[in-house]
Amino acid sequence: MAPGKTLLDKVWDPHSVRQLESGQTQLFIGLHLVHEVTSPQAFAMLRELDLPVRYPDRTFATVDHIIPTENQSRPLADSLAEEMLVALEKNTRDTGITLFDPASGKQGIVHVIGPEMGLTQPGMTIACGDSHTSTHGAFGAVALGIGTSQVRDVLATQCLAIGRPDVRRIEVTGKLAPGVYAKDVTLAIIRHLGVKGGVGYAYEYAGPVIDAMSIEERLTVCNMSIEGGARCGYINPDDTTIEYLRGREYAPQGEAWDRAVTHWRSVASDADAHYADKVVLDGGDLAPVVTWGINPGQSVGVDERLPRLADAGAEDRAQLAEAFDYMGLTSGEPIAGTEVDVCFVGSCTNGRISDLREAARVAQTGKVAQGVKAIVVPGSQAVARQAEEEGLPEVFRSAGFEWRLAGCSMCLAMNPDKLVGRQISASSSNRNFKGRQGSPTGRTLLMSPAMVVAAALKGKVTDVREVL
Ligand code: SF4
């Protein structure tokens, strides 16, 4: 008897238009999300070819990367940012695409607003000109980050030419200890499998730890699939997924809801599905994780020491030495106690309301250390409104944090929120590449939002379990 199917099989096959000679699939894309950075050239190419947008009703746009988080009044202070926003407004207006701009009250980071409005649904194929599109897999969607020329292809044809990945099932067993979060799980997976370990794979996350997670936590896990090299990552839809979607603006209603729920449940992987690979991690073993190097795989538990160069094999040694040299950290030293200059809570990894609630819970325990700049940036205007209703900005402000407007902020620093010089930041974002946060020599330590706040209060990397 043939083995059962994975979710990837069940979503991929019905969206497959045809097999291309290259071996790739021409894959129909159910939902296309667009932002201001990777779309202007794609729209320009469409204009040159005199092509319309094939399915404007399946395409939604927002502004996130370049939007300032202190003052969003128009025209934006940075003329280049203003130009990019004007171009997005014109392109979406001319093509009939819905744009969620700051005036809409629905603006935010593309991977925050899609889920919160119910645009992201199980069984969908989703594409966006942004690496962290894998985030949407949390709902049981096949969500693919694409480049600018592929944005053009999807705008023009609603299809992508793409190779089909194999599926690796990653089971996280046990139960997370207090102070250990979804961010720690995803960083631990990347540490275990490596930043290139997922090349050629879709990651299917499963097991008791994943099952127990809220949708927001699952979004955090799937967000970083790409940092482990995977083409995408997903979690099978279950009751948690369905309850999250109920009543959301773009979720089906009435009879359509019942039909959708039946379909959503049917796309989950079969119990006897075949996987190209299976990996098991014990979630009960995990401590809060902190990156120390220049890729998200270079991390340690907060209670561990940095790797010792002398113990590294010849292959790894050069990479480790480069990371130590850039970061100015010493091989074999504990990560706890590393002093930080800037603390950033936000991004599409950890800028949701549950992240901010947990960050506020830690912020209540003290004051930001002298000399540390600490900012909290909601992932969307809806997150900001919810946080305001719950009084979170006040909690942050009284602890010495700045409360900002929604945007990508310091994650990529294509806006005024940047590190300066050799500053070192504790960041709840997803990339710690050289220069990622706006200064060519700036340094990033990735960790959970609760750990970022603990670092802000103490002025150094601190085990949040000691603060709570
Ligand atoms: S928050 Fe960072 S990773 Fe996410 S979409 Fe914005 S720049 Fe990209």
Averaged over successive runs of 10 residues, the pLDDT of the chain (468 residues) comes to 94 98 98 96 97 98 98 97 98 98 98 98 98 98 98 98 98 98 98 98 98 98 98 98 98 98 98 98 98 98 97 91 97 98 98 98 98 98 98 98 98 97 98 98 98 98 96
pLDDT at 1: 78
User: What's the CA angle centered on 341, arms 301 and 67, to 5 degrees?
Assistant: 100
For residue 93 the two structure tokens come to: 């207006």
CA distance 298 to 191: 6
pLDDT at 2: 86
**Strand 31-35 vs strand 59-62: parallel, antiparallel, or unpaired?**
parallel
CB 352 less than 6 A from any atom of ligand 1 = no
Spacing, Cα 431 to ligand 1 middle (Å): 9
pLDDT at 315: 84
Q: E strands within 334-466?
A: 342-345, 373-376, 402-403, 424-427, 443-446
Spacing, Cα 310 to ligand 1 middle (Å): 36
CB 231 less than 6 A from any atom of ligand 1 = no
Spacing, Cα 275 to ligand 1 middle (Å): 30
pTM of the predicted structure, to 2 decimals: 0.98
Nearest C-alpha to atom 4 of ligand 1 is from which residue? 348
Nearest C-alpha to atom 6 of ligand 1 is from which residue? 408
**Residue recorded with tokens 């601190």:** 462
Strand partners, 278: 169
Angle between helices 79-95 and 40-48 (to 10 degrees): 50
Spacing, Cα 356 to ligand 1 middle (Å): 17
Spacing, Cα 405 to ligand 1 middle (Å): 15
